[in-house]
Amino acid sequence: MQADTTTSPVLASALMVAAMAIIGVIDNVVILLAETVGLWQFHFMRALLMLPLIVGLSLMGLGRLRPQRWGAVTLRSLLITTAMFFYFASLSMMPIAQALAGLFTSPIFVLLISSFALGQKIGPWRILAVLVGFSGTLLVLQPNPVEFDMRSVFPIAAGFFYALSSIMTRTYCARESTVAMLAAMVITLGLSGAVGAALFTVAPVATLDGPDGFVTRGWVWEVGPALPWIVVQAVGSTIAVFMLIKAYQVGETSYVAVFEYSVMIFGPLFAFVALGQTLDLMQVSGIVLIATAGVLLGWRARRSSTQQELA
């Protein structure tokens, strides 16, 4: 049976926007579950809930669970797990707009790593995109040059490790099943969460109450208040990833990727409506600049791909 190669830009964009709308909503609940449980326990419990759903995706024919290249898939999983820990830690420390701004520096890091580490040439348009995106990141995060706050590095670290995982995906995991990579990532997140929760339980450190203690909190048995939000995260993430996978299956990659930036609208908008988080004019301008950089990079990638096909 041959794979369906039919492309549908309208369906692809609709699926991606829907996926980003779900992610924009469910990532806001992290601040709510962070009141009760810790980062590590959250990832462990969410992984336990997500794995059966991922097996269901495989049974639906969306991809095999067994990787072809275990080493490459494992390394990718470790990189994206590191990125997700930094990202979700950021969600408990700052408004979602700032966490997303750091995560979406990943296309900039991909370009820089590809240029300096892999020797790929980049033109003036991509250099401009890097400068625009970096400026936008500074506007959103607004780092204090006088009193440096280590927490402001967390979302950027998430973007860096996410970029490394993206390069691994393109370079060494291109032929892997998306379901296999998703399963490996969730297993790695779950195991890392279990180890982290055990360490902070056996050797506890001074931990603040509420979201401020999210990163260093050990195992909590009274999970009742957090459990509904963990379920929302698990189910929502699985549905969103399913839509994301399908979007890339029916649409051209560089075209579809641009619509990922819609999460920078949905996330802060829901945070404003539900949680009262607000943005100032500089932060809104920064979000626009980051999205512009992403669109510019996507446009150049699509144009380069078209030129190579015509050559």
pLDDT tens column, 216-264:
999 999 999 999 999 999 999 988 888 877 787 677 655 676 778 788 8
What is the residue-wise DSSP string for 104-137?
A: TTHHHHHHHHHHHTT-----HHHHHHHHHHHHHH
Residue 75 has pLDDT above 80, yes or no: yes
Cα–chain center distance at 223: 25
pLDDT of 2 reads 38
pLDDT tens digits, 142-169: 777 666 677 788 999 999 998 888 888 8
Average pLDDT over residues 75-79: 93
Predicted TM-score (pTM) of the model is 0.84
Q: Give the DSSP letter of residue 205.
A: -
d(CA 84, CA 104): 12
Query: Nearest 5°: phi and psi at 148?
Result: -70, 130
State which amino acid sits at residue 284.
V
| List of residues 6+ apart from 149 with CB closer than 8 A | 143
pLDDT band for 183, please (50, 70, 90 cuts): very high
Query: In a 3-state reduction of DSSP, which class is residue 35?
Result: coil
Closest CA to 66 of 176, 172, 173, 167: 176
pLDDT band for 5, please (50, 70, 90 cuts): very low
